[in-house]
Amino acid sequence: MTTFDTLNVTRHDKFVVVELNRPAQRNAINAAMVTELHRVCADLERHPQILIVTGAGDDFAAGADIAELRVRGRDEALAGINRAVFDRIAALPLPTIAAVEGYALGGGAELAYACDIRIAGAGAQFGNPEPGLGILAAAGASYRLAELVGKSVAKQVILGARVLDAQSALRHGLVSDVVDAGGALTAAHILAERIGRSSALALRLSKAVIDAASPHPLLDDLAQAVLFESPDKAARMTRFLEKSHA
């Protein structure tokens, strides 16, 4: 990956950290950031790694860039500018983690929803205030949030303008953990290291079968068949048996 204007990208051995880097705008997601997120996705599609997404400064992302949204029309809406990149992030081969501090609102919340796992700092807040601006939460909230927290809570957030604080998000299953404010990224690093100890192929196929759109016993069997033939599986199980008999 080369340099970016709106992101800070740091590559580790097992994972990549992408920091949204517009802190003066509370990391509002603009067209330039969308373009750069597509570049990150293209790289992770070619060379799969675990992804951590976080925000610079005090917030994850306080929404899409309203100045840009105000001048977008029908054609831009039909292009699904933000929705397309969030869907691409959701479809990345290996697990993705959102490390959320402060505000994750509008498009920022939808980016967090697109990740596989979310970790929240104690001051995190999730919300979708789009109807108050005369628009739809159309970059994934309308279908992802209900899957994550149930339709009733999703309607409270999208229709009732409810903001979920960190503890509410934990109670409803939106986040996996709540840590001290400022600690979400560190916790995400620890989680990514733990995930990275698993078989990359097993993770990739496990994510694919979990995200399949309908019951899929044959898909599970096919994925398992691939894994059963992998040298990694044999090596891992041999190490397990040797350790248990030591």
Which residues carry out catalysis?
110, 130
Residue 14 DSSP code: S
Pair 47, 13: CB distance under 8 Å:
no
Report the alpha-carbon angle 48-51-54, nearest 5: 160
Q: For residues 82 and 129, what is the distance between their CA atoms, to the nearest angstrom?
A: 16
Nearest Cα to Cα of residue 166 among 117, 112, 100: 100
- From first CA to last CA, the distance across the chain in angstroms is 44
| Structure tokens, 175 | 């986040």
Angle, helix 217-228 to helix 200-211, in steps of 10 degrees: 170
Pair 36, 19: CB distance under 8 Å:
no
Q: For residues 63 and 60, what is the distance between their CA atoms, to the nearest angstrom?
A: 9
Pair 89, 111: CB distance under 8 Å:
yes
User: What string of DSSP letters covers 10-25?
Assistant: EE-SSEEEEEE--GGG
